[in-house]
Every structure is written in C-alpha cells, then in structure tokens.
A = this chain, B = another copy of it.
Amino acid sequence: MIDVVKIAKALSDPIRYEILKFLVRRDAEPGAELVSNCCSGLCNCDIMQVFGLIQSRVSYHMRELVDAQLVIEEQRGKWKYYYPNYQILKDYVKQIEANFLQR
C-alpha cells in the first residue's frame, strides 16, 4: 500500500512540486526542445539548469521524490534519467478520495 502522508510530504516542497510538474510536462511533450545536450532524456543537469539550482540540492530533492516513489530513476551511462510515476500519483489521488471524499 502507498504511504499517503509520505507522498504528501514529498509534494509539500515548492521546488519538488515544480520539478515534478516539469517532468510531467516534458514527458507529455516528447517533441519539445531538449533543455540541455547532455543526454536524450531529463537528467539532474537539466533540472539544475532549468531551476538554477546547485547540483547537491537537485540531487537531494530528486532523491526525496524517488524515495516517495513519485519519480522513477533510470541509470543511463553516467546520467540519471527521471520520469514521473503515474501509477503512484493515481494511487495517491484514489487514497485521498477514499479517505476524504467518499459519500
């Protein structure tokens, strides 16, 4: 079962929320211009560049998102490629609805 409080905590940081939104937007627009030329997907260095954050800060927040299972990571050579975990997001919504909106 999902840990709904842990997911809420992961979503409760504005930077993480924006990063996740960005991952989803980029995932939905596969033809969009690549942010950097470091790799074909979306990696740490892209997020650094887009949000103007230093490397260890991005690394920290991505680990939080991965730990909450909101984001799946995939190693590609020396890069980490991130993509949204839609199943967990769906489960989160379902759980919120089940706990608070069942009438």
Q: Which A residues form the contact surface with B (CB < 8 A)?
A: 4-5, 8-9, 11-14, 17, 20-21, 24, 28, 84, 86, 89-90, 92-93, 96-97, 99-103
**Interface of A, helix, strand, loop or mixed by DSSP:** helix
Contact A89 B93 (CB under 8 A): no
Q: Quick check: B28 and A99 within 8 Å, CB to CB?
A: no
Question: Across the interface, which residues of B come within 8 angstroms of A101, CB to CB?
Answer: 86, 89-90, 93
A55 to chain B, nearest CB (A): 24
Q: Which residues of B contact A90 (CB under 8 A)?
A: 101
Q: Which residues of B contact A103 (CB under 8 A)?
A: 28, 86
Complex Cα distance, B86 from A100, in Å, reads 8
Whole-angstrom distance between the Cβ of A83 and the nearest chain B Cβ: 12
On chain B, the residues within 8 Å of A14 by CB distance are: 5
| Interchain CA distance A14-B90 in the complex, whole Å | 20
* A100 contacts B8, C-beta separation under 8 Å: no
